Amino acid sequence: MASALKIAVNWHRTRRFDFHYLTSLGGMPSAHSAMVSALATSVGLREGFGSTIFVVTLAFSMVIMFDASTVRRAAGLQATLLNQVVDVLVKQHHLPTEKLREILGHTRVEVFAGMLVGVAVSLAITLLMP
């Protein structure tokens, strides 16, 4: 669902459908955050929000979302800077032009939006399926 929303957000911005968002990293909303928050919400609704398994899935979700907004985001920003350095070196020394992937992580807003999508989808599925 989050990846489909990425396509919709991109279409709203560019008026073009870009299906690479189904498998890409980064972008609004965070699919990783949506998945882990849907998992934790579903477990909480089924097993109880006081259950041990809910606490485990909640902790797992928090680690994934923290990683997406800090470690992976920092790696993406570093890749951007390294690609700029490579551009300068390529122009000056005629080196190969292989680039690093720059969009690896998420902003906190993207992570929060993904979390909201996950919770909403989990609630909708749980309410519709007894």
Q: Higher confidence at residue 22 or residue 121? A: 121
Q: Is the whole model's pTM more than 0.75, yes or no?
A: no
**What would the pLDDT profile of 57-107 be if each residue is shown by its tens digit?**
999 999 988 888 787 777 777 777 877 887 777 777 766 667 656 566 678
Q: CB-based contacts of 47: which residues, under 8 Å, 6+ apart? A: 53, 54
Alpha helix (H) residue ranges in 2-107:
2-14, 31-47, 52-69, 71-93
